[in-house]
Structure 1
């Protein structure tokens, strides 16, 4: 018999959508990290090579930024920590704190927190009470009293000074007296008195425009004293402060401005480590608290302006103290720059390497940032030294001829004379507001006997700097201006790019107005300065105190305050405006004093 036929197959199951999941035997999915890593790696492999390269680049960039930030934070921490072991290790040679000055500071009520017999980690900040006195109330015995104070300061005080061990601490900067330091000679002491008398004389009462400057200064000082005392710079809009070096830069910059304006206030050396480089070209940065000097973190270069605009100050320091090392250090830099190749008819590049001592970035020439004060200090060293240093004079005159030959052009349609830039043979019709120092420097040279055609260039450039202010809606100059070289009906001489239209309350235009007025006696320069002061008051003044830089000089309705008052506004801009408006042309006469690049007056040395 045959077996029975098999049963018919069951009907097929109805079609359903489903997801198939396969699990390995003996394992269960537990959301483990190993599985997630394999999943991430699979996704990474699915990316294109371009996508992976972009992600790797961004990660590398973020890591680099974090590393640089950590380095900067570590350096700031070391500067502020004040640890004795580190200070002992880095301790440089320092200038002694003069007893007379220290005694005077101790008397001042406002500085009682700063002077102490031992180092303190924390102290309260508080502004001193300004003694606002009329400039013409100096006593007849003032000169005699000053002489006594100087005599005490220079080492003639009783023996109690030998035990003087006070330390002045100012936001991480610790200045200790050094024992057995060489004292200046009697001859230097006598010449100091003579030069001080020649440079400073009893001023006349301020006129109306000078009173306007005093009022502006007091308003700026009100904001700084209330919201930023002891810090570097005021942020007047937000009523707080910003730091650069953490040294109270606004306070330091403003001291001699107060004195000149008749606002009397109580009035060092940690910079020598800057010269400890293989080439003796100084580092750009020095922490005066620890004595640590270094190049910027991103380069081993210093700018030429930085290393060549310390000569006036260090030379004067040597004359006052009788210590030659200050003068010798900076004059070695001057001689080194003089001997270098890479110049173009007296013009110098912007950077110099502190290791090799050679110019870097050759072929780029400007009178703006990073090079400007090199040219200024060539002339002023010659003037300061009694017009004996012919090397400085020759380098200056040669540089002016180089400027005329390579950098001076005329705009269209108004034919304004301006100073551009040269990069590898190509001219750029760009002029920083910083270049507006040049008309004043040229006029100062003519005052001291240099060629008359320098004055022609000075007056032409002064007109241009004034127009850089006047042609803006706010009456204030942009940081950088570009000039049209070809006549076009729809274009002005001066044009401003969006990135350059800010104003930082800079002093260069009013500085040159001061010199042009002193040399020519033409009152139009006073009038131009008054217009600029009115523009500062209208567009940068903050009601609660202080003045703010602005973002847009081309918009009088919305100038956009940047919430920062640079220290040079009270240290330079207002000082030059006050002196510009003075009716007394012998107040800080150009024959007896020379202003450094930060507008601090130094005496011209009397003939030996």
Structure 2
């Protein structure tokens, strides 16, 4: 444990920045309207909606109350044993992550109590030798900034700046590229630092919203400058990768090479690097053209190389985002995988479609979101697994359900023979629903990405069926994850035999993201309007400058 308060702004840097990128100047452009013009609801519709919102609020209050009682100021509550766990440096991750949810849900007394508690967090003290700069940025800095944007409580801005001063030292490398898995106390002692030769593209490319918002609020360009350098490198090398337009999941920050790896996806390890492109366009008031340019190029490539249509018994008109492997000779293929994490992509495409007047992207966003909803409904518990494979249609056009082809692919993935009894044995043992060829990670860890896209698409289109789908999702999750204290991750969503195992884990995003999106979809549409706010990847809404 390292202790003792330190003012990070006074800790010397080894590599001084000599020229600073300034925030774009000028009056923000009038962005296209994103939200649907919702009609006035009648009294029965309002009562029905508010009953559902109240159920979500109760779930939040129950989990938050247990955190407060059993794990106050720790990073996480263990929802079965009632213990505390520090997974993110011990700086009260669940508390900071939930600040804006408390405000949005109208829990002002709890909010004020929480803000008073967070003032005591000491970012110079942690028992972890290494911190994840990305997670620290999206959960802590995002949490403070969003809660400040909503409440104007100056104490939150003080904490955001304090954390921001510390995180700038992760960029104190010879090329000013950030260290993503950072030995923070070595930096405090002045040890030499070099950016990593292998880092996840999401972890280096997803710091820009939070750093930009801190610079906008404070008028201090240092944070914008730090991440703008990174994004300029993304822009310069975007067309030089094996899939021009996209960046691979692994990059070399030490040598500033974003082109060498051969795996491309909108999913895990890449996700928020893409998600932040249209959101940065909005956050900067349309004054920085690079984000629209990067978004369009990335999504053109993603549509071409990573999206696919599954073959389903009901011939559903849906899309799934997979993973492409493409080498330097442009040889390779698409892995017909689906991930719960990549369910955010439907909302991203829909938002980009509105911001950039691209109807094609809005249509893609609908099909991707509907794909995640379909996958939820197809599973026995009504909850999607972390990772799965399905049988693909030959193209993104409709294809008729072919049970024989499904069986053949099930066997191929399992490495068995195509004997009819063997096929049925695999399907039974693996608990495969029609269309699914393998369940590669059967967990549900209280993830928000599916309800995130359902919420965004609902706010954009006004489709009432999305509210109904959200309600089914919420009830399935509540029914199966509820513990005596709060909610816990599921070990296997394919079980329907009464042997569903709830595990002793509740990540901070359950309160920060999942329940927030469920609450908002059953709230009045002007609560956190998508025309006024843009969400970071931890569901923290930042105010869009007007």
Is the TM-score greater than 0.5?
A: yes
Paired position in structure 2 for 1:150: none
1:359 aligns with 2:258: yes
How far apart are residue 286 of structure 1 and its match? 4.2
**In the TM superposition, what are the counterparts of 1:299-338 in structure 2 within 5 Å?**
300-338=197-235
**Which has the larger Rg?**
1
TM-score of the aligned structures, taking structure 1 as reference length: 0.64
How far apart are residue 343 of structure 1 and its match? 5.0
Structure 1 Cα separation of the partners of residues 440 and 285 of structure 2: 44
Paired position in structure 2 for 1:254: 98
Structure 2 Cα separation of the partners of residues 339 and 370 of structure 1: 21
Choose from 218, 236, 255 the match for 2:79: 236
| Aligned-partner SS, 2:95 | helix
Cα deviation 1:255-310 (Å, max 9, x = unaligned): 10000001121333221111112332211134667755999999642211112211
Cα deviation 1:130-173 (Å, max 9, x = unaligned): xxxxxxxxxxxxxxxxxxxxxxxxxxxxxxxxxxxxxxxxxxxx
Paired position in structure 2 for 1:92: 8
Q: Tell me, which stretches of 5 or more residues in structure 2 are unaligned?
A: 12-24, 29-45, 116-159, 327-331, 394-401, 408-432
Q: Tell me, which stretches of 5 or more residues in structure 1 are unaligned?
A: 1-79, 96-186, 192-203
| Aligned-partner SS, 2:73 | coil
On the 8 A contact 1:284/1:295 being kept in 2, the answer is no
Choose from 504, 507, 518 the match for 2:459: 518
Structure 2 Cα separation of the partners of residues 297 and 275 of structure 1: 9
Structure 2 Cα separation of the partners of residues 240 and 260 of structure 1: 27
Structure 1 Cα separation of the partners of residues 252 and 440 of structure 2: 30
1:418 aligns with 2:320: yes
User: Using a 3 Å threshold, how does the CA distance of structure 1 residues 348 and 294 change in structure 2: closer, same or farther?
Assistant: farther
On the 8 A contact 2:388/2:439 being kept in 1, the answer is no
Structure 2 Cα separation of the partners of residues 325 and 299 of structure 1: 22
1:478 aligns with 2:385: yes
User: Using a 3 Å threshold, how does the CA distance of structure 1 residues 470 and 319 change in structure 2: closer, same or farther?
Assistant: same
**In the TM superposition, what are the counterparts of 1:387-426 in structure 2 within 5 Å?**
387-413=286-312, 414=315, 416-424=318-326, 425-426=332-333
Q: Which moved more, 1:325-334 or 1:341-350?
A: 341-350
Structure 2 Cα separation of the partners of residues 296 and 239 of structure 1: 39
1:588 aligns with 2:528: yes
Structure 2 Cα separation of the partners of residues 594 and 94 of structure 1: 33
Structure 2 Cα separation of the partners of residues 496 and 599 of structure 1: 32
Paired position in structure 2 for 1:379: 278
How far apart are residue 359 of structure 1 and its match? 2.5
Cα deviation 1:377-408 (Å, max 9, x = unaligned): 11111011111221110110111111111111
Cα deviation 1:530-587 (Å, max 9, x = unaligned): 11110111100112x11000101011311211210011010000001111111x2111
Structure 2 Cα separation of the partners of residues 434 and 294 of structure 1: 36
Structure 1 Cα separation of the partners of residues 187 and 65 of structure 2: 33
Higher relative contact order (CA 8 A, sep 6+): 2
Cα deviation 1:239-262 (Å, max 9, x = unaligned): 212221211111111110000001
Structure 2 Cα separation of the partners of residues 282 and 233 of structure 1: 27
Cα deviation 1:194-249 (Å, max 9, x = unaligned): xxxxxxxxxx9981111111100011112212222211112111221222121111
On the 8 A contact 1:435/1:508 being kept in 2, the answer is yes
| Aligned-partner SS, 2:8 | coil
Structure 2 Cα separation of the partners of residues 319 and 446 of structure 1: 26
| Aligned-partner SS, 1:481 | strand
Choose from 466, 469, 478 the match for 1:537: 478
| Aligned-partner SS, 1:271 | helix
How far apart are residue 592 of structure 1 and its match? 1.2
| Aligned-partner SS, 2:334 | strand
On the 8 A contact 2:265/2:302 being kept in 1, the answer is no
On the 8 A contact 1:232/1:248 being kept in 2, the answer is yes
